[in-house]
Structure formats: C-alpha cells, structure tokens
Amino acid sequence: MRKIVPGIYHEKQFPGVPVYVIVTDEGALLVDCPLYEEGIEELLEMVSGYAEPRYLALLDSQPDRVLGARGIELPIIAHDLTREHMLTWSDTFKGANNPLGGEADSIRRITGVKTAVPEITFSDELLLHLGSLKLHFLHQPGPTPGAMWLTLPEKNIVFIGDAIHLSEPPFLGEADIDKWLEGLNVLRDGYLKDWQVLSSRDGIIDRDDVTAMGRFLRKVPLRIERLSEAENPEADADALAEELMGDFEVPPSQVERMKLRLSTGLLHLAKRLFPSEETDEAD
C-alpha cells in the first residue's frame, strides 16, 4: 500500500475501484473494497499488518465499488440512498446482462449480493470516532444519488469518491449534474478549498483538476438534450462518447470499455431527463 500521509494508504493493484485505508490506534477503516474475493483476502491481510480492520465505507453504489463487500465481514457504512438502491438488486449478479463499462461487466455470475447491503446508513451526515480520529461522512450527491464524501477534519483531508475523474470518464447514467457541480464548487472555492482532496480513481487532486472536471460536466446537459431528440440515439451516443473521450487520457487498451461507459451513461441520463411518451404511458 502506498502511504499518502501518516495513517492513510492507497491501494490500486486490485480490479475494481482503488481502495483507501485509514489506520488509527483502535483499528482501520477501509474506503471501498476490491471486486473479487481473492483481492479482499489479500487486502485484509495487508491491512492487518497495520491495525485490525473495523469498518468498510462504500462511497456510492457503483458495482465495481460495492460487489466485493459481499465477501467482507465488517460493518458497512453508506448513505441511505445507496442502501435503498442496492436493495433493489437481485441476489444474483451477471455483469454481461447490463454492461456499464466497468470491471464488473466481466463477472459471469455471482450470488450473495444482498450480503453487501450496508447496515450503517445516514441521511445527511454521520460522525464516527475511531480511536483518536473523527470520521465525518457527508451526503454529496452528483455521480449517484447516494454518493458521499468522507472528511477527516483533524487532518484537513477529504475523500470524494468518483466526484473527479482524470484518467477515465465517469458513468453518467445516475448523475445529477447540478449537484455534482455544486460539490466541485465546494472543493474549489468553499470551506474545503485548502484541504487535501483524494479521489478514488486518481489519488491526490489539485485545483486545476477540479476545474477540468467542472469543464467536462458543463458540456453534458446540452449534449443530453440533443441526444433526446435524435432519430438514432444509440449511434448519436457513440459519437458523443467519442467526442467527450478527448477530455481524458485513456490508455489504448481501455478505449473501447471507456467509450461504452460514456455512451451507456449518456443514454441512461437522456432517458431519465427526457422520458419518451412511451415511457410516460408505461408509468
């Protein structure tokens, strides 16, 4: 694990969302978890060399982030809306059924998804004392309705989950762009502007990174409206994804998967924001 500052580590070797570990004198909290069982076992062994694992926090309901939690016997912390969303899932998950451009797409079949549902949840904020450290969880929707941030006030550090992407595009299907931009404004000009910002995907974030993410998100609403009026939405979504990919430095081996993530997210978002007459009648 790579040390960010004393007591905080980042681990990127496992498939899924990279993991942070917060170590205190009375145990450790994991921020997200590996996707596969073997990664979880290896991570817990690594963490145990520093402190006893005590809690797992899931920063939103993205499958790459949460499916591995079914194999971890720790109290799970998440936002109320993350729990509600996960409760709607089948206990069996097949990634190929609804590919989102994530690592979880490659899962043929897993069971026991319901055991990953968080048992410790909150609506606005939650304060947890772990040893001498205060862990302050805050509801910060944007990437998903149940997205949350974790702040360490005594260290001036904030974990922002998927609020900022630099090396790969986000999945936009559940996004609230306005709320997302509000959160970025807090990082750039609000009370967190002088804090150290840690992104799940890209590690330490600076002010220019926040600006770049905001610039990308502000492109989305106009393009979504155009997509809602398209005669061939799938083809137009592919073209839009190709255009928007230029904002990210995606490795060649990941281009097709990242393009799928963007195009699928754009289509989902367009259907949510501009439902068709057929959708209205079905409702």
Per-residue pLDDT of the chain (283 residues; tens, 9 = 90+): 899 999 999 999 988 899 999 999 999 999 999 988 888 999 999 999 999 999 999 999 999 999 999 989 999 999 999 999 999 999 999 988 888 888 888 898 999 999 999 999 999 999 999 998 999 999 999 999 999 999 999 999 999 999 999 989 999 999 999 999 999 999 998 889 899 999 999 999 999 999 999 999 999 988 888 888 888 888 999 999 999 998 898 888 889 999 999 999 999 999 888 887 554 444 4
Nearest to 5 by CA among 283, 243, 204, 210: 204
Instruction: Give dist(CA 105, CA 113) in Å, integer.
Output: 15
Opening angle at CA 161, ends 267 and 53, nearest 5? 135
Residue 28 contacts by C-beta under 8 Å, 6 or more apart in sequence? 21, 22, 47, 50, 51, 52, 53, 54
pLDDT at residue 282, as a whole number: 46
pLDDT at residue 283, as a whole number: 44
Written as six digits, the tokens of 77 are 């912390």
Nearest to 254 by CA among 144, 172, 164, 165: 165
Residue found under tokens 């450790």: 28
Written as six digits, the tokens of 145 are 């309705």
SS3 129: strand
Opening angle at CA 215, ends 209 and 218, nearest 5? 140
Opening angle at CA 94, ends 93 and 99, nearest 5? 115
- The CATH code of domain 2-162 reads 3.60.15.10
pLDDT at residue 196, as a whole number: 95
pLDDT at residue 223, as a whole number: 84
Q: Write down the pTM of the prediction.
A: 0.93
